[in-house]
């Protein structure tokens, strides 16, 4: 299995070029990232998840993975939120909690999954990723909102998120064995590409407005520690335990390990901008973790595969 920098260079350079494009668009064309963040949350993300579920033909096994990742990320974020409020201001703790439960599983992780995993492994990866997406726009969004709003206001904001209804609609159609016409599904194919492009561009747009004062070493280190220390450790333990108890398949094990080593999610910036909670701090932390990814991912996966006997 090729885990060299050359394997990751293509996805990384593509994503960084999107960040640079967003930076230039904001600087030279004065593009405002706020409406784009709203568009991502309320339009593009719901259609992206809906299409993924409709294409994936959900089964009980796949949805169990989705539920398991949703519960894992939600529990982790709730724990980080409780601890973070003792160290950071409320809005910073909220952003840190949101980031702790998610990662760049789509924009960054999926291209790598397509390289490292067989087709059935990619499907497993996608349904795990959907659990993380569901966390982002439910528990994660709530925790972020609570850094700025009351419980009632936060719940109202969640109830207005169309991604929840898109997820439920796709499951309902799947349960009824209703398939959308091929032209409709083909028309929806524009949304995943738009999700990736705009999701990364918004980091560059936010960075164009960032000032040196926005850099917070303590906050960035906390984000990196959660993403590149806690996540790999917990997932490695989880894979070893599941393999000992249930005999985990190598393909699923690799999919889970890959989820644990991707950089921070660009949705950290999207949600922070939508809710008005430290988007510049979030953008700097996300960019730092993305630049570290090509160095850490081959190292981490190599060690983890060796420890699990999959290398």
What is the DSSP track for 43-105?
A: IIHHHHHHHHHHHH---HHHHHHHHHHHHHHHHHHHHHHHHHTTTS-HHHHHHHHHHHT---I
Confidence of residue 147 (pLDDT cuts 50, 70, 90): low
Tell me: the pLDDT tens digits for 219-245? 999 999 999 999 999 999 999 999 999
- Give the burial class of 14: count Cβ atoms within 10 A of its Cβ; 0-12 exposed, 13-18 middle, 19 or more buried: middle
- Provide the whole-model pTM: 0.83
Tell me: the pLDDT tens digits for 44-90? 888 988 888 888 777 888 889 999 999 999 999 999 999 998 998 88
Q: Looking at residues 166-174, what average pLDDT do you find?
A: 87
For the chain, the first-to-last Cα distance in angstroms comes to 8
Q: Return the pLDDT at 133.
A: 85
Tell me: the pLDDT tens digits for 25-48? 998 998 888 888 888 888 988 898
Tell me: the pLDDT tens digits for 183-204? 999 999 888 888 888 888 888 8
Residue 173 sits in a domain whose CATH number is: 1.20.1530.20
- Tokens 């030279």 locate to 28
User: Between these two residues, 146 and 264, which has the higher pLDDT value?
Assistant: 264
Confidence of residue 214 (pLDDT cuts 50, 70, 90): confident
- Tokens 């050359």 locate to 6
CA 182, distance to chain mean position in Å, is 28
Q: Are 301 and 4 in contact (CB under 8 A)?
A: no
- What is the residue range of 46's domain? 5-308
| Average pLDDT of the chain to the nearest whole number | 85
Q: Number of folded domains in the chain?
A: 1
Confidence of residue 136 (pLDDT cuts 50, 70, 90): confident
């Amino acid at each position: 299995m090729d885990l060299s920098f050359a394997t990751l260079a293509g996805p990384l350079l593509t994503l960084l070029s999107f960040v640079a494009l967003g930076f230039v668009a904001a600087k030279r064309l004065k593009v405002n990232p706020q409406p784009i963040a709203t568009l991502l949350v309320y339009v593009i993300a719901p259609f992206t998840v809906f299409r993924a579920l409709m294409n994936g033909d959900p089964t009980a096994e796949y949805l169990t993975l989705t539920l398991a990742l949703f519960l894992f990320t939600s529990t982790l974020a709730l724990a980080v939120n409780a601890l973070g409020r003792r160290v950071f201001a409320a809005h910073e703790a909220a952003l840190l909690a949101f980031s702790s439960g998610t990662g760049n599983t789509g924009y960054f992780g999926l291209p790598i999954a397509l390289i490292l995993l067989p087709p059935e492994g990619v499907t497993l990866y996608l349904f795990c990723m959907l659990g993380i997406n569901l966390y982002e726009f439910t528990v994660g969004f709530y925790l972020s909102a609570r850094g700025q709003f009351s419980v009632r206001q936060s719940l109202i904001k969640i109830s207005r998120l169309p991604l929840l209804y898109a997820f439920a609609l796709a499951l309902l159609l799947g349960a009824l064995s209703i398939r959308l016409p091929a032209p409709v599904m083909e028309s929806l194919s524009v949304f995943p590409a738009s999700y990736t492009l705009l999701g990364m561009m918004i980091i560059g747009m936010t960075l164009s407005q960032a000032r040196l004062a926005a850099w917070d070493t303590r906050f960035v280190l906390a984000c990196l520690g959660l993403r590149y220390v806690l996540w790999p450790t917990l997932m490695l333990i989880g894979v070893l335990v599941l393999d000992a108890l249930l005999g985990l398949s190598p393909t699923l094990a690799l999919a889970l390990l890959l989820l644990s080593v991707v950089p921070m999610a660009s949705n950290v910036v999207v949600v922070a901008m939508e809710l008005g909670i430290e988007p510049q701090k979030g953008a700097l932390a996300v960019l730092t973790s993305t630049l570290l990814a090509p160095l850490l991912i081959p190292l981490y996966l190599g060690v983890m595969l060796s420890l699990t006997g999959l290398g």
